[in-house]
Amino acid sequence: MIRRAGAAMLVALVGPALWAAPASAASQPDDPVRLAVSARPVNSLDLGVPVSVSVISDPGAFDIADAPVRLRVRLSPAECRDTFDTTSGPVAIDSRLSLPARPSHAFTQTLSGRASPPDFGTDSVCAFVEEEGSNRLFAVDTDTQVVTSRPCTAATRNQASVAASLARARDSLARAQHRLAAAKHRLARARHRARRRRRRARRRVRALTRQASALGGRVAQGSRELDAAVAEVRRACSAG
């Protein structure tokens, strides 16, 4: 959702030392800098939490900046604080904005990142637009929450395991098919040779044919298990 940064121009003018409002302070509809935060609501502990934030500003909103301006985002298991530095939690984004030259026109930039929560639970996405050095605050968003879920993590781990097993089965099948093709070629060349050698080659072909058939069954079974695992991930990781 889009959250407008409360009193951003006032903060920029008086500096961070006089900014006493909490990061979740309400904002007015005409604030010049706004944030749109997007994050997956349910996540796997192994894969982390992907976060995307769009910074949207009116013309001239950043003209008072004395230093580069950064978009800085953390996942916090506690309440978001007044600034990025005073907020605890893993970092998802900490990058400079590519601001236009002064006098600036209307501006939009989207940055993406990924944070790795240390444990299961609910975290707040704490997004700040701050000036480097002074930490002068232009915008803040604390409305988005995400969950790192045990069922989602278990489902993604199972999917990874099934996918790895299927990959191994496919590799085995490919090698068996290669050996089968080589055996057939040797059989064709051996037709003019002694019957004894021809029988041996035919036995080899039959054995490899049975092996390829068995491996083909394993690959088919693995494909069905992977489809089931993918469906399980979708169910476990859905927001509903």
Say yes or no to pLDDT of 200 above 90: no
Distance CA 172, CA 149 (A): 35
Domain that holds residue 156: 152-236
pLDDT band of 52, cuts 50, 70, 90 = very high
Strand partners, 137: 130
Peptide bond into 32 cis (omega under 30): no
State the greatest distance between any 2 C-alpha atoms of the chain, in Å, as a whole number: 99
201 and 175, same structural domain?
A: yes
171 and 86, same structural domain?
A: no
User: Of 8, 138, 141, nearest to 69 (Cα)?
Assistant: 138
161 and 195, same structural domain?
A: yes
Residue-wise pLDDT tens digits, 174-184: 999 999 999 98
Measure CA 36 to chain center. Answer: 18
pLDDT band of 79, cuts 50, 70, 90 = confident
User: Dihedral sign, CA of 19, 25, 27, 32?
Assistant: positive
CATH number at residue 61: 2.60.40.2550
The total domain count for the chain is: 2
164 and 52, same structural domain?
A: no
83 and 19, same structural domain?
A: yes
Do the bridges between strand 42-43 and strand 137-148 make them parallel or antiparallel, or are there none, so unpaired? parallel
pLDDT band of 9, cuts 50, 70, 90 = very low
Distance CA 184, CA 204 (A): 9
Strand partners, 140: 128
As given in the structure block, the two tokens for residue 208 are 């490899």
**pTM exceeding the 0.85 threshold for the entire prediction:** no
Q: How much is the CA Rg of the chain, to the nearest whole Å?
A: 29
What is the DSSP annotation of 77-99? SS---SSTTTS-S-EEEEEE--P
187 close to 198: Cβ distance less than 8 angstroms:
yes
211 and 187, same structural domain?
A: yes
Residue 116 CA: distances (Å) to CA of 10, 96, 235, 237 = 34, 21, 22, 16
